[in-house]
Structure 1
Amino acid sequence: MMNDEQLLRYSRQIMLPQVDIRGQESLLQATALIIGLGGLGSPVAMYLAAAGVGRLILCDFDRVDLSNLQRQVIHDSSQLEQYKVDSAAVRLRALNPDVQIETITTPFDAHSLSPAVQAATVVIDCTDNLTTRLAINKLCVDFSKPLIYAAAIRMEGQLSVFHPATLGTPCYRCLYPRDDMIQETCTQSGVLAPIVGIIGSLQAIEAMKWIMGIGQVSLGRLHLLDALQMEWCEVKLQKNPTCPVCGHLP
């Protein structure tokens, strides 16, 4: 049961009929694994902490660099050279002391991430390279965990949710079937700062909807943002029956 301070803190969410006390309690009991505490991970972590997700597992082996501060708003100039997860944990604990914060600074691989993926209610991919995304996707399929995926570059962003255990829906590997498919990064091509804020905030919304079991999550749909023209489009995704990761699922 929530105490009086929690009821006040989360009152504006609890007022929503789709959320109510039951939804807020679901958030408080949930565990979100956030992989990558950069441009996307910053708004994801801050909004989930503020909204009352009870346990956040932060995973990133990188350190805060001056070039990060243009868009990675969870960090500041006093935290240069700190591990990003440690920098983020300071901000999140100040934002909401009730949230349990755990950190992982080992490099991304199946061995280091497996326990955290198993423990998670939702897994949120805020990374920026194909190899890591494919590894995260496989773990999520193996442990039947929902994967909240996003990417952002230049003035563009994309968002989807993958959970092939839900009948007939694809996994991330269905979207990128080859290991050698080229993906650009912000380091190579740049990014407008608010893009990651927009897309990361939407990741947080999708994660909260999944946890509370409300609304329609973006399974089988890829949302694409062109912020320069301020246009959204949606692409329907199809499951690949020969996918080496999820093809065995019905």
Structure 2
Amino acid sequence: MLELNQCYNMDCMKGMAQFPDGFFDLAVVDPPYFSGPERRGYYGSKVSKIGVYRDYPVSPVWEIPGRAYFDELRRVAKHYIVWGCNYFSYEFAPGRIVWDKCKKGTSFSDCELAATDIFNTVRLFRFMWNGMLQGKWHPSIHMGKDIARIFLRVKSVERGPLRGMEVADFQKEGVKPQNRLGGCKCAWAQEGCMERPCENRDAYEWWRYMTSFRKLWDSTLPAASVRTLGWKANPDVWVIEFERTERPESVKD
């Protein structure tokens, strides 16, 4: 039998044959499900869209697994997760995992599908995978109180113009101030202002935070909405302030 906790570059059918029935608790596999790389000797593009050359190892053999592979996989593992199950003609268990890649506007698949016998339902998992944008998790907005770890109480609700924000408001939003090249650019600064404290310091501080928040605010809007809801449009907004509270006694563990 192969030594555990090691990596092996070998035919997986030969490797699984060395293990007894039900040896592994779970097998997670993503087998090749299309033909093509074996004909050109590599997988992917040797030159990226931005001109980066990739050194791919030669793949002279690229076999799409059949029934024998999945039968052997089920023999050595008590449970399984098989990605790309929709490409294979095999009688998998009814459980499915849908991986939402959180990407739009590309020619690639929005989701990946896996078959599993761990459960009999369909579960959705959101995890961003879109080129350089990777790893952003999108949790469900409907979370039961019994599994929540943070409880919030509404502290205040106000309505006002967006551009009525002060430095303290920007800081609560978590933005970092942006320094203007050359520092303060008021009329006195051009004369080499040496006044301490500067009468224009508050205005300069507001500008530093406002510049960062303006970019953040406009970036959250669709391009078509920036004209009516962007920073320059100065729309009325609702400001809801929360405070953290203890877990209510009425919530069961």
- Structure with greater helix share of residues: 1
- Structure with greater strand share of residues: 2
Q: Which has the larger Rg? A: 2
TM-score using structure 1 length: 0.23
TM-score using structure 2 length: 0.23
Task: Between the two structures, name the one with larger relative contact order (CA 8 Å, sep ≥ 6).
Answer: 1
